[in-house]
Chain A
C-alpha cells in the first residue's frame, strides 16, 4: 500500500509532510473501502441466508422439511413436492387468483387516479397545494389497522363485504398517497421545457403530454405500478378482515396457519416472497425516487 502511494506522488516535488499526509489518507481510504466491502457482504449474508433457508425448505420433499437436523439447499434433495402440496391445498389456487385480481385492480385504479394528481403537483403552483401534499403525507402515515375495521363495518352494511372488488377499493386507498407522491417525482424529473418546446412547435398541451412526456415517464409509472402490485400482494391485515369466502393468498395462509403443517407454511412463505425477489430487482433504481419524495 505504501509503495503505491509513493510511486504516485514521486514525480512532483513535495515536502515530506504533505507526502506523509497523502500516504496516510490513501491508506485510510483503502482500509475504509475494504471495511465497507466487509460490512456490505456481512449485511448481504444477513439478508440472504434466511432466504436461502426458506428456499431450500420450499424446494424439497415434505419428509425432508420435517427431518431434523436439517440440511441446507445444495445438500438436500431438490423436489417440487412441497410446493405442489402447498399449491394443491384447499383455497390456495382461488386465493392466488383473488390476490392477482385485487392487485391488478389496485394498480390500475391507483395509477389512473394518482397520475393526474401527480402531474398537477409537479407542474402547477396553486393555492392549497401544500395542504394537499401534507394531507397526502398524513394519509400515507395512517395505519392500515385503523382503516380496516370501520371499512369492514361499512362494507357489511352496504352489502359489498367479502368481495375482491371492495378489497381492491381499500388497497387503492392505501396505495394512493404513495403513488401520487412517486408519480409527482417522476413527472418532475421530466423538464417542463420539453413540453413547452413541443407546444411552441404547434402541438396542443394534450399532444405534448401524449407524445413527449408520456413516453419518458412510462418506465417510472411502470415502477410505481409494480410497487403498488407488491403492496397489495403483501397486504394481510385488511385482506383478512374484509373477506371470508374470497380470501387472498396471504389471508388464506394466515387464517389456516394454526391448523397447517410446516411444509405448507414454509412453501407458502417462499411463494409469497417470489414477487418481491423479482420485482424489487427491476424497480431498485426508482426506490429513492419513491421514498426520497416522502422526506421532502
Chain B
C-alpha cells in the first residue's frame, strides 16, 4: 500500500485523517456496536421482571421489597397520587380525577379544597367542556361516613379541611389527574411482602380484591432465555446440522476454490471468461441459489428428468422429504458449494497474485511436479489468505439460512440461523432469538480464535 504523509516534518497532529474517518466511525458505532451490545443484553436480561413495593404511595418512599412479574396479590387499599408530568401521556395508567371545589361545609363555614371526582356529580360545564359546578353525591352505604371529606391537597393523605353534606352544591375551580396506587400483599418465594405500587403495573381481577402483577419496573439478569433456547426441541438438531454442514462444506470448498484459482492463474487464453463464470455465484443470493437447486431436486425436477431420460429410473424419486434427510443435506451441500466457493476463490486468487512469479518458475525449472509446487510452494505462501478465507467462510457458514428454508421448509432440517428467524418471526420471542444470535456470535468467535491459533502454532513449529 502506498502511503504518504502530508504532516511530514510537522510537530502538531494532523487532524485531517480523523475528520475523514469520523463519519464511518460514528455510523458503525450507531448501527453496529450499539445494536450488538443491545443484542447481548436482550439475551440475558429480562426487562421489567421485578416490581418494587414501597412503604407509602410515593415514588420516592423507601422500598419494602420486590415481587416478580405474574405474582398474585391481595389488594388492601387504594390512593390517588400525583403523576410526574413526563409520564402523564402514557395510556396504560389507571387514573382518578380530583376536583378543586368551593362550597359551604356541613357546619356552615365557607370551604375550599380538593375532593375526588367520584364524590361529585357534575351539573354544569363551560364552553370547553370543563366542569364548573355540581353537587355532592350521597353515600348509600350505611356503614360509611355520610359526609364527604374535602382535603387540603389532591391526596387522601393530606389534611381534611372540612366535610360536605350530600347534595350540597359546589363550585368546581379546577381539576387534577392522579394515578391510582394500590396497597398490595403478595408472596415472593416464602416471604410475604406488603406495600404500595402504581396501578399501571397491576391487572385487577374479579371484584377488585385481588390482582396480578403485569410487569415490573426493574430489570434483572436471567438465564431463562438461554435455558429455553437450549431446551427447545430444535436447538440440538440445529446445532448438529450447522456443524455437520460446516465440516462437510468447507474442506471440499477450499479444494475446489484452489483448483479454480489455479485455472485462473494459469495464464490461459480466455481466463477472463473463466473468471467471470467462476465469480457469477458471488452476486447471487442464497435464496436464489436455494431455488436454483430446488429446481433440480424437486420431484418433477431436472435430476429425475435426466435419470428418467437415461432410463435409470421408472418413476420420479422424492428427494426432499422427511424420510430422505440425507438428500436434503446433499442438496444443501451442493447449493452451498455452488454459491460460496466463489468468495474463497477470489481471496485465494488475490493471495496468489502476491506470490512472485520467480518462485513458481524456479520450482518448475527444478522439476517440481504440479502437485509438488502446490504442496510445497503455493500452499505455504497462501497461508495468510487461506486463514482469512477460512475465518470469513466459517462465519458465513453459521448463517446458512435461505437455502435451508427452500430445501426443507425449515422444519425437517434446521440450522441455527433458521431457529433465530423462527423464534423472532414465528414465535415473536425476541429474547430467545437474541440468545440464538449471541450463541452464533460466540461460535463464530471461538472458531476464528481456533483458526488464528492453529495457524500460529504451525508457524512456531516451522521455526
A interface with B by C-beta (< 8 Å): 25, 32-33, 36-37, 39-40, 43-44, 46-48, 50-51, 53-54, 57, 66-70, 72, 112-114, 116-117, 119-127, 129, 132, 135-136, 139-154, 169-170, 172-173, 176-177, 180, 184-185, 188, 191-192, 196, 230, 233-237, 240-241, 250, 253-254, 257-258, 262, 265-266, 268-270, 272-273, 275-277, 279-281, 284, 287-288, 290-292, 294-296
Given known contacts A43-B259, A69-B308, A150-B36, A240 and B421 CB-to-CB distance under 8 angstroms? yes
Interface-side segment among B2-10, B84-92, B186-194 = B2-10
Q: B284 near A276 (CB under 8 angstroms)?
A: yes
Q: Which residue of B lies closest to A54 (CB)?
A: B292
Q: A284 near B1 (CB under 8 angstroms)?
A: no
Q: A272–B351 Cα gap in the complex (Å)?
A: 31
Q: Indicate whether B294 reaches chain A with its CB closer than 8 angstroms.
A: yes
Q: A43 near B405 (CB under 8 angstroms)?
A: no
Q: List 5 A-B contacts (CB under 8 A).
A: A44-B278, A72-B302, A240-B421, A241-B424, A262-B300
- A51: chain B residues within 8 A (beta carbon): 280, 292
- A147: chain B residues within 8 A (beta carbon): 32, 35-36, 39
Q: A192 near B2 (CB under 8 angstroms)?
A: yes
List of 3 A-B pairs having minimum Cβ-Cβ separation, nearest first: A276-B283, A269-B291, A292-B350
Using a CB-CB cutoff of 8 Å, which residues 258-283 of chain B contact chain A?
A: 259-260, 262-263, 266, 268, 271-272, 274-283
B420 to chain A, nearest CB (A): 5
Q: A50 near B292 (CB under 8 angstroms)?
A: yes
Q: A192 near B305 (CB under 8 angstroms)?
A: no
Q: Indicate whether B402 reaches chain A with its CB closer than 8 angstroms.
A: yes
Q: A122 near B1 (CB under 8 angstroms)?
A: yes
Q: A141 near B391 (CB under 8 angstroms)?
A: yes
Q: A294–B350 Cα gap in the complex (Å)?
A: 10
Q: A17–B389 Cα gap in the complex (Å)?
A: 44
A24 to chain B, nearest CB (A): 9
Among candidates B13, B32, B287, B305, residue contacting A272 with C-beta atoms closer than 8 Å: B287
Q: B279 near A287 (CB under 8 angstroms)?
A: yes
Q: A176 near B27 (CB under 8 angstroms)?
A: yes
Q: Indicate whether B399 reaches chain A with its CB closer than 8 angstroms.
A: yes
Q: Using an 8 Å CB-CB cutoff, how does the interface string of B217-257 with A read, 1 for contact, 0 for none?
A: 00000000000000000000000000000000000000010
Q: A135–B370 Cα gap in the complex (Å)?
A: 39
- B27: chain A residues within 8 A (beta carbon): 113, 172-173, 176
Q: A235–B368 Cα gap in the complex (Å)?
A: 45
- A123: chain B residues within 8 A (beta carbon): 3-4, 6, 17
Q: A292 near B353 (CB under 8 angstroms)?
A: yes
Given known contacts A40-B263, A125-B3, A254 and B287 CB-to-CB distance under 8 angstroms? yes
Using a CB-CB cutoff of 8 Å, which residues 1-33 of chain B contact chain A?
A: 1-7, 13-14, 16-21, 23-25, 27-28, 31-32
Interface of B is mostly: helix
Q: B39 near A146 (CB under 8 angstroms)?
A: yes
Given known contacts A50-B293, A269-B295, A176 and B24 CB-to-CB distance under 8 angstroms? yes
- B266: chain A residues within 8 A (beta carbon): 32-33, 36
Q: A248–B286 Cα gap in the complex (Å)?
A: 15
Among candidates B14, B276, B424, B434, residue contacting A280 with C-beta atoms closer than 8 Å: B276
Q: Indicate whether B444 reaches chain A with its CB closer than 8 angstroms.
A: yes
Q: B277 near A47 (CB under 8 angstroms)?
A: yes
Q: Indicate whether B441 reaches chain A with its CB closer than 8 angstroms.
A: yes
- A176: chain B residues within 8 A (beta carbon): 24, 27-28
Q: B305 near A70 (CB under 8 angstroms)?
A: yes
Among candidates B28, B35, B283, B286, residue contacting A236 with C-beta atoms closer than 8 Å: B286
Given known contacts A126-B17, A269-B292, A150 and B35 CB-to-CB distance under 8 angstroms? yes
Q: A295 near B3 (CB under 8 angstroms)?
A: no
Q: Indicate whether B298 reaches chain A with its CB closer than 8 angstroms.
A: yes
B59 to chain A, nearest CB (A): 23
- B433: chain A residues within 8 A (beta carbon): 149
Q: Indicate whether B77 reaches chain A with its CB closer than 8 angstroms.
A: no
Q: Which residue of A lies closest to B369 (CB)?
A: A28
Q: A39–B262 Cα gap in the complex (Å)?
A: 10
Among candidates A36, A39, A150, A250, residue contacting B39 with C-beta atoms closer than 8 Å: A150
- B437: chain A residues within 8 A (beta carbon): 143, 145-146, 148-150
- A40: chain B residues within 8 A (beta carbon): 263, 268, 271, 274
11 more contacts with CB within 8 A, not counting A40-B271, A141-B391, A279-B283, are A39-B263, A68-B305, A141-B448, A150-B35, A150-B437, A173-B28, A192-B3, A240-B425, A265-B291, A265-B294, A294-B388
Q: A236 near B402 (CB under 8 angstroms)?
A: yes
Interface-side segment among B95-103, B203-211, B319-327, B341-349 = B341-349
Q: A119–B391 Cα gap in the complex (Å)?
A: 27
Using a CB-CB cutoff of 8 Å, which residues 375-417 of chain B contact chain A?
A: 384-385, 388-389, 391-392, 395-396, 398-399, 401-402, 405-406, 409, 416-417
Q: A66–B300 Cα gap in the complex (Å)?
A: 7
Q: A230–B395 Cα gap in the complex (Å)?
A: 20
Q: A141 near B282 (CB under 8 angstroms)?
A: no
Among candidates B276, B287, B420, residue contacting A281 with C-beta atoms closer than 8 Å: B276
Q: Indicate whether B129 reaches chain A with its CB closer than 8 angstroms.
A: no
Of B283, B346, B424, the most chain A CB neighbours within 10 A belong to B283
Q: Indicate whether B79 reaches chain A with its CB closer than 8 angstroms.
A: no
Q: B38 near A53 (CB under 8 angstroms)?
A: no
Q: A253–B36 Cα gap in the complex (Å)?
A: 28
